[in-house]
Structure 1
Amino acid sequence: MSPTLSVITATYNAENYLPSLIESLYSQTDQDFEWVVADGGSKDKTIELIKQAQQKLKRVVIQSQSDFGIYDALNRAVKLATGEYYLVLGADDILFPDAIANYKAACARTNADFVTTLYYEGSKRLASLHQPAWEWFSGMHAHITGHTVGTVIRRSLHQTFGEYSRHFPIAADQLFVLKAIHGGATVSLENFIAGRTNPESTTGQNPLGCLLELYRVKVMVGHSLLLQTLVLFYQIVIWWPQIRKARA
């Protein structure tokens, strides 16, 4: 039996991005999914666009209220969702037409807690995946390609490993994924291409903040403080051009 799947999205004043995402949801060859949107109190046409999507999609759930950022919104969406698995999509992401069908088939075949696959970061660059042994360097990307677009997650994992932490406004996904995997959650790596993310992500906007939070996360899950400090300095050197650009 095919597992149920929820697509969850956090939005805030996203009217310029949502049409492409919504069109990609319309284009799915498997329409048996729900779309759960946790909105942060948008003042533009975001809610109007989502309500229009209710006319064509099987099930759309909207909750709009003030929140504390993306992970607070995602926590709300996870609670509102009914699917056995969920897929996080940003308002500026898109799915390719067979993505939902491929994800559901992989979940049914493997029964894994995380099903992860390829996706484009921007128009051409495929997201990379390191081996689990490289977790000390890559964090969750040693296990999954990415938190949005590239991975579906068993929703019940949150009952065991908690919500996305408000203490990590950039890397709460890293902490949750690593806690779950260290706690025995299973991962299946697939080879289809699910869709595309916007390369101008939070990481691109605040690379130093991302590196610092990832450093804290890896220490929290048990990696050596000394080693992680050395890794942090190395990554700051490598990312220095992007850090300077973001601070300009």
Structure 2
Amino acid sequence: MSGDDVLLSVVTATYNVEEKIPSLISSLARQSDQKFEWVVADGGSNDSTLELVNNAASVLENVKIDSRPDCGIYDALNRAVKIAEGDYYLVVGADDELTPGAVESFRKACKESEADFVTALIDTGRNIKGVRRPGWRWLYGPFAYVSGHAVGLAIRRSLHDRFGFYSLDYHIASDQLFILRAVDGGAVVSRHDFVAGRFDPGGTSAQDLLATLMEGFRVQVTVGESPLIQFGLLGLRILKNLGRIKANLR
């Protein structure tokens, strides 16, 4: 597989993000390697989101847009992945940004490794996040293998033919379930030390921390981790984050 043979799709789920998406568009326009397609699955925005995305076609080589009501982010991502034509895809939120060399680095890493998951470092604004060490799956779940789902992970698109698409039974942690099931099924992970971009941690997982912890617990038990250990970890995490959880509930 030559470098030019590796097509990367950047997929973004949007809904009324007119204030956030210009920074993402700018970061895509600044890519040193423009051999990628941007696939936007919009949930039926009624602000200027679609106008901004359409205008991006003047500075980006390949933009695909599908706008219709959906059932949330994973419904939108499933739609985007099915529309995408890339060998690999990279999930980037409307409030995230890529570093100028991200596409070039991912394409090179995908070509050289031929792995199913190619994971890089993520700038969270507080720290540079990589794969958790030590790689204890019982403690970190998918983050024992990858830095995160958005911004820092190129995913071989054909994995969905083997392991299905993102489950709509989960609203926050469906990506975690998919990654773990793929790894259990033999998917190969390749780790790299370039910083792929900035991930905004202020999404749904931050706004509803209790639901995030509960879904993480469900995922871990679903993939075969000890329910007793996971229940204990859930209790400890709730206690540790009790102040933030109470703030979310106000």
> How does the TM-score come out when normalised to structure 2?
0.97
RMSD: 1.0
C-alpha distance in structure 1 between counterparts of 2:98 and 2:202, whole Å:
17
Match of 1:162 in 2: 164
After the TM superposition, which parts of structure 1 deviate over 6 Å for at least 4 consecutive aligned residues? Answer: none
Which secondary structure state, in structure 2, belongs to the residue aligned with residue 86 of structure 1?
Answer: strand
Q: How far off its partner does 1:129 sit? A: 2.1
Match of 1:48 in 2: 51
Q: 2:116 aligned to 109, 113, 117, which one?
A: 113
CA contact (8 A) 2:7 2:36 kept: yes
The change in CA–CA distance for 1:132 and 1:166 in structure 2 (over 3 A counts) is farther
Sequence identity percentage: 50
Q: How far off its partner does 1:131 sit? A: 4.1
Match of 1:140 in 2: 142
After superposition, residues 230-245 of structure 1 pair within 5 angstroms as 230-245=232-247
Match of 1:10 in 2: 13
CA contact (8 A) 1:6 1:81 kept: yes
After superposition, residues 32-47 of structure 1 pair within 5 angstroms as 32-47=35-50
Match of 2:34 in 1: 31
- Give CA-to-partner distance per residue, 1:13-40, whole Å, 9 cap, x none: 0100010000000000000100000000
Segments of 5+ residues of structure 1 without an aligned counterpart are none
Q: 1:101 aligned to 75, 100, 104, which one?
A: 104
Aligned pairs, number: 247
CA contact (8 A) 1:131 1:143 kept: no
CA contact (8 A) 2:32 2:100 kept: yes
C-alpha distance in structure 2 between counterparts of 1:133 and 1:67, whole Å:
35
C-alpha distance in structure 2 between counterparts of 1:31 and 1:140, whole Å:
30
Which secondary structure state, in structure 2, belongs to the residue aligned with residue 153 of structure 1?
Answer: strand
Q: How far off its partner does 1:49 sit? A: 0.4
Which secondary structure state, in structure 1, belongs to the residue aligned with residue 13 of structure 2?
Answer: strand
Aligned residue type for 1:171? A
- Give CA-to-partner distance per residue, 1:155-208, whole Å, 9 cap, x none: 000001001000000000000000000110010110000110112122111111
C-alpha distance in structure 2 between counterparts of 1:4 and 1:99, whole Å:
13
C-alpha distance in structure 2 between counterparts of 1:98 and 1:230, whole Å:
42
Which secondary structure state, in structure 1, belongs to the residue aligned with residue 136 of structure 2?
Answer: helix
Aligned residue type for 1:10? A
C-alpha distance in structure 2 between counterparts of 1:48 and 1:186, whole Å:
39
- Give CA-to-partner distance per residue, 1:33-57, whole Å, 9 cap, x none: 0000000000000000010011111
Q: 1:171 aligned to 170, 173, 191, which one?
A: 173
CA contact (8 A) 2:120 2:130 kept: no
CA contact (8 A) 2:135 2:145 kept: no
